[in-house]
Amino acid sequence: MGSFNWVSLISIIFMLVTTPILSASSLSSDGQSQIPSKFLNFAKKGEVFDWMVGIRRKIHENPELGYEEIETSKLIRAELDKLGIPYKYPLAITGVTGYVGTGKPPFVAIRADMDALSMQEMVEWEHKSKIPGKMHACGHDAHVAMLLGAAKILKEHEKELQGTVVLVFQPAEEGGGGAKKMLDAGTLENVNAIFGLHVDPKLALGEVASRSGPMLAGSGFFEAVISGRGGHAALPQHSIDPVLAASNVIVSLQHLVSREADPLDSQVVTVAKFQGGGAFNVIPDSVTIGGTFRAFSKESFMQLRHRIEEVITGQASVQRCNATVDFLENEKPFFPPTVNHEDLHDYFRRVAGELLGIHKVKDMQPLMGSEDFSFYQEAIPGYFFLLGMEDKTLGKLESVHSPFFQINEDVFPYGAALHAALAASYLSEFQHEVPIPEGEYHDEL
């Protein structure tokens, strides 16, 4: 029998002791991870908070629409350069993807959207939008600031990361389907899970809300041109009235939900656009209508799409008109339902509870709003949640997509720390459950 190599045995024991799934320094006496509280304390430091506020205000002053986020992307890359974080650019025209950690598996992603809305800001303050007709009215400027805040936290604690965090800065969430283009560009290659958030002006500051399963609806848009034959309003018998036809179409479309959909399967069809003639005594040649439709399952969504087209063309025909229907898929692609992965729900509640207190982690009912984060969730396990920012002592905050929308910047440390804690804890806890991909991965990092 050969001699026993005690040195090798001692080295193996040392490695096993010093590289557990969660390092001893990351656990409190009751076994809870110290990562969330440590990250929150870091994010609340004055210099970190002020840095995030400065970034957000620069972006807010210079809002850019979907796929036009040139300056926003430039600012993000400049900050990543300062932090020493490598990134890929461009992706999906203006998108940026940064990497923090070992550069090796497992990979987990955290995401922020960058685009603004086509609306005039009505809030008078020092950092009001400088671009007429454009405004960050949905909080994407805050989302970018918080994801950069998370990047700063993660870079500061990079040696503790047991894998790689992918920072996804995405263009064109507001109807442009930027998430789909980021996916097509390979952003989530070898990524095992992704987390995203949205600020909520109606939820208390420091609270979060989410749910397992369907959270937000799938959404689509439609536009229809109903053509008849114009003429004098006093002689309708010589015309084929598209206004009357369009009116019948709208009423019939409402029956799709009230009489065809299962009452327990929530759906919405709304006609929000009606454009016809310009005179009181002239029947126009055509009328254009348009709207949106929503559902919580892909099957219900596609059935609704099919029936919308049938009803519009059929009802127009009854009134002797012709109709063409356009679902605007090139301009406004269909968004799938936002469905939170069941296995990530308890994980999110635990990490958020450790960071905020479990009493501040709320369950919510599904909402009919939509979010293109859903494209990521179709590809890999994903989890999306709402982050509260209401402070009643500061006054009422308006809803998103309002020209009076405002951000309570006190929310920034919570969002940055949550992003960072969800990612870092995921790498620690799931590294031995995640299969190592065969072939090449991001080894250039």
pLDDT of residue 341: 97
Q: Give the residue ranges of the annotated binding site for Mn(2+).
A: 138, 140, 174, 198, 401
pLDDT at residue 23, as a whole number: 41
**Within 13 Å and on the Cβ side, how many CA atoms surround 399?**
2
Read off the pLDDT of each residue in 210-232 and give the average, rounded to a whole number.
97
Residue reference for tokens 């002592």 = 393
pLDDT in tens, 57-89: 999 999 999 999 999 999 999 999 999 999 999
For residue 372, how many other CB atoms are within 10 A of its CB?
25
Q: Where are the beta strands (DSSP E) in 378-432?
A: 382-390
Tell me the pLDDT tens digit for each residue of 386-413: 999 999 998 999 999 999 999 999 999 9
- Mean of pLDDT over the chain: 91
Task: pLDDT band for 8, please (50, 70, 90 cuts).
Answer: very low
Helix, strand, coil share (%) of the chain residues, nearest 5: 40, 25, 35
* Known binding-site positions: 138, 140, 174, 198, 401
Q: What is the CA radius of gyration of the chain?
A: 26
**DSSP element (H, E) containing 40:** helix 35-43
At residue 330 the predicted structure's pLDDT band, cuts being 50, 70 and 90, is: confident
Contact 161, 101 (CB under 8 A): yes
* Other CB atoms within 10 Å distance of the CB of residue 235: 9
Task: Identify whether the C-beta of residue 404 lies closer than 8 Å to the C-beta of residue 398.
Answer: yes
Q: pLDDT tens-digit profile of 133-143?
A: 999 999 999 99
Predicted local confidence at residue 375, as pLDDT: 97
How far apart, in Å, are the Cα atoms of 14 and each of 3, 10, 94, 248, 298?
Answer: 21, 6, 46, 77, 52
Q: What distances in angstroms separate CA 314 from CA 42, 248, 284, 299, one per listed residue?
A: 61, 10, 20, 22
Nearest CA-CA partner of 106 in 423, 422, 382, 439 = 423
The architecture of the domain spanning 218-326 is 2-Layer Sandwich (3.30)
pLDDT, tens digit (0-9, with 9 covering 90-100), for 101-124: 999 999 999 999 999 999 999 999
- Between 36 and 265, the higher pLDDT residue: 265
State which H helix or E strand residue 87 sits in: strand 87-91
As a whole number, mean pLDDT of residues 265-276 equals 96
Predicted pLDDT at 351: 97
**Domain boundaries, given as residue ranges, for the chain:** 22-216+337-430, 218-326
| Whether residue 2 has pLDDT greater than 50 | no
pLDDT of amino acid 346:
96
pLDDT digits (tens, 9 = 90+) for 419-444: 999 999 999 987 656 555 444 444 44
- Structure-block tokens of residue 254: 């409402």
- The answer to whether residue 13 scores a pLDDT higher than 50 is no
Query: What pLDDT sits at residue 433?
Result: 60
pLDDT greater than 60 at residue 329: yes
Q: What's residue 430's pLDDT?
A: 79
Is pLDDT of 27 > 60? no
Q: Which of the four CATH numbers 3.40.50.720, 3.40.630.10, 3.20.20.10, 3.20.20.70 does domain 22-216+337-430 have?
A: 3.40.630.10
